[in-house]
Chain A
Amino acid sequence: MLRGFLKINMKKLLKNNLVIMIIFSVVVLTMPIWMQPFGAAYPDILQKFVIFGVFAIGYNILFGLTGYLSFGHAAFLGVGSYTAVWSFKLLTMNIIPAIILSVIMSGIFAVLMGYVALRRSGIYFSILTLAFAQMCYNLAYSVLTPITNGETGLQLAKSDPRVIDRLFSEAGEGLPSTTLFGIETSGYSGFYISAVVMIIVFYISLKIFNSSFGLKLKAIKSNQNRMRYLGFNTRPYLLTAFVISGMYAGLAGGLLAATDPLAGAERMQWTASGEVILMTILGGVGTLFGPLLGVIIIKYFENIFSAINQLDLHSFYSIFPTWLENAMVSISSLFVGEGWHMTLGLLFMLVVAFLPGGVLEGMQLTYKKLTTYVSKKRNKTGGESKKETGVNHGK
């Protein structure tokens, strides 16, 4: 009885927003500790986890809720980065104005792009967004060189005006670094600042998911025609979702620039858009945590797997006899180092083919199987009352 009661209460508790947010914040902020065993506890990759987390959370608001597959979100990431770097160059090295401006700027771009692209749905929408993003990318590379500094990428220079900073102090020796009211925003402090931003925007996305606005977006995904015949003008809803997710991407771009103040055109390329789609699908589209899981998996592969070399492999397999060691190393080396894309590709194919709900769904299924297995086993030993077993509390 008590066990059942506790179980139900736990379920209720886990549905409470506050509880979710507390657990989530603790998990995110302790990342430097629990990432240690995975060899990923250094600031550079941790920053990537949370910043691309922001990107994926935002992407999920569009793709997960409305089902509109945008192939152009990298454009907003790039716009955000360029805006932030320009803010560092012209205004101040403080990241607050930079981030606010990058969110506003990408929002403006998202309105323009969404207004055009959302006239179509399905594959045509995807193609329109792709075209827009590639156009931005090519412009950044060529015509807009005065703004984007073309191939070299936009960087800080000593001669930059930095109007607001100059009001308070003289230009120092060497390049200044980005700060948040005096706190340097690289390294671990950069991670913590980005993590706090991600926690805030995660909360916003949680609110959107549970609001009636979110409900309407889900309904649009399910049956857009029905929405129209029920009296909904669907386009403004879609545009809002599009702009919100574009602003998330701009925020991510701004944060990227805040932790490392340079911006290049390659950030806008279609591969970058593809990456966020990959992250979202791999983790679990339309779920709250799935995209974040996808971010961690992909960024982990990108940074850790690609760094493994033959020597690492040899030491890993050193317990085997030499012939086996050599064989294992030659097989494994296909999947690490330069070959990390192959591992990722295989993983992606497996997930899409067998777990359309992403890794998160896989984890839920395993958990369910495990709990039913455990309760069955306990029942066989005869310790528990029969009522407990096989009870399926739904999702």
Chain B
Amino acid sequence: MGSKAVLQVTNVLKTFGGLKALNNLNLTIEEGTVHAIIGPNGAGKSTLLNVCIGQLTPDTGTVEFDGQIITGLAPHEISQRGISRVFQTPQIFEDLDILQNVMIPALAHIDGQFTFNAVKDLRHRNEVKRAAMEIIEQMNLGDQLHDRAGAMSRGNKRRLELAMCLVQKPKLLLLDEPTAGMARADTNQTIEILKKIKATGMTKVIIEHDMNVVFSLADRVSVLAQGTIIAEGTPQEIRESEIVKEAYLGGAKI
């Protein structure tokens, strides 16, 4: 590939008390790839994502996005630059209906930086609604448009959150275990959706435990253990790597 790096994590150190959650971690995500990050529980996968979206500030080291350093920026500023994240537990607006849930991120495009402009508001309203409807249809949620989001099943909540991220057309999409806790059928549906997005060429980082998902989607895989990347390569290379089996899979055959 050799295309340019979208996300460049350099020497990031993040400690919680005495624990080094991220230990001088280096990671490069290339444009247009689907990059999976796997690793045992507590390896620092979610911490890594938290650092990327500005939820946590690293003790040392930098995160570069699109050639600019984003460490130290507020979460909304980072989001404005084009990073979207699907959380491990769905973070949606439980009290609002599905259409509203998707309309809000679509509005962020227009005025995430606050402007109090009613005229602009009206002009974009239909456009925003149309964009939201389109994504909702893609996610097969169209028949529940005016249902309260909080009352949906977990699988649907995850799909809704994915819709909320996709409507923003981010340059980089971070997915934190998009299929965890889903029924088999839901998982398959999600994989289908993710494959469809992959075709659009959006750069994605996926944290995942389900190896089926990893090997069916990822272009590259990084293995994280104790806060550092211990191996990186194509899914095939990772599958055959001895270090990985040792650290993560406990030597079991997959």
Write the residues of chain A forming the contact surface with B, with a CB cutoff of 8 angstroms. 211-213, 215-216, 218-219, 221-223, 225-234, 236-237, 240
Q: Are A218 and B107 in contact (CB under 8 A)?
A: no
Among residues of B, the one whose C-beta sits closest to the C-beta of A221 is B95
Q: Are B95 and A222 in contact (CB under 8 A)?
A: yes
The range of chain B's interface size is 20 to 34
Q: Are A222 and B93 in contact (CB under 8 A)?
A: yes
* Chain A residues within 8 Å of B100, by CB: 215, 218-219
Q: Are B104 and A216 in contact (CB under 8 A)?
A: yes
Given A215-B104, A218-B96, A231-B79, 9 further pairs, Cβ under 8 A: A212-B125, A215-B96, A218-B93, A222-B96, A225-B91, A231-B105, A231-B112, A236-B114, A240-B114
- State in angstroms the CA–CA spacing of A53 and B157 once bound together: 39
Q: Are B105 and A230 in contact (CB under 8 A)?
A: yes
Write the residues of chain B forming the contact surface with A, with a CB cutoff of 8 angstroms. 53, 55, 74-77, 79-80, 84-85, 91-96, 100, 103-105, 107-109, 112-114, 116, 118, 121, 125, 128, 164, 168
Q: Are A226 and B74 in contact (CB under 8 A)?
A: no
Q: Are A233 and B121 in contact (CB under 8 A)?
A: no
Name the distance in Å between B98's Cβ and chain A's nearest Cβ: 13
Name the distance in Å between B14's Cβ and chain A's nearest Cβ: 18
* Chain B residues within 8 Å of A219, by CB: 93, 96, 100, 104
- Closest 8 A-B residue pairs measured CB to CB? A231-B79, A236-B114, A231-B112, A222-B93, A231-B108, A222-B95, A228-B75, A231-B80
The answer to whether residues A223 and B91 also contact, given A212-B125, A215-B103, A230-B164 and a CB cut-off of 8 A, is yes
Contact of A229 among B79, B109, B125 (CB under 8 A): B79
Name the distance in Å between B68's Cβ and chain A's nearest Cβ: 16
Q: Are A232 and B96 in contact (CB under 8 A)?
A: no
The answer to whether residues A228 and B121 also contact, given A215-B100, A222-B93, A223-B91 and a CB cut-off of 8 A, is no
Q: Are A218 and B95 in contact (CB under 8 A)?
A: yes
Q: Are B92 and A233 in contact (CB under 8 A)?
A: no
Q: Are A233 and B113 in contact (CB under 8 A)?
A: yes
Among residues of B, the one whose C-beta sits closest to the C-beta of A220 is B93
Q: Are A226 and B114 in contact (CB under 8 A)?
A: no
Q: Are B76 and A232 in contact (CB under 8 A)?
A: yes
Q: Are B107 and A216 in contact (CB under 8 A)?
A: yes
* Chain A residues within 8 Å of B55, by CB: 229
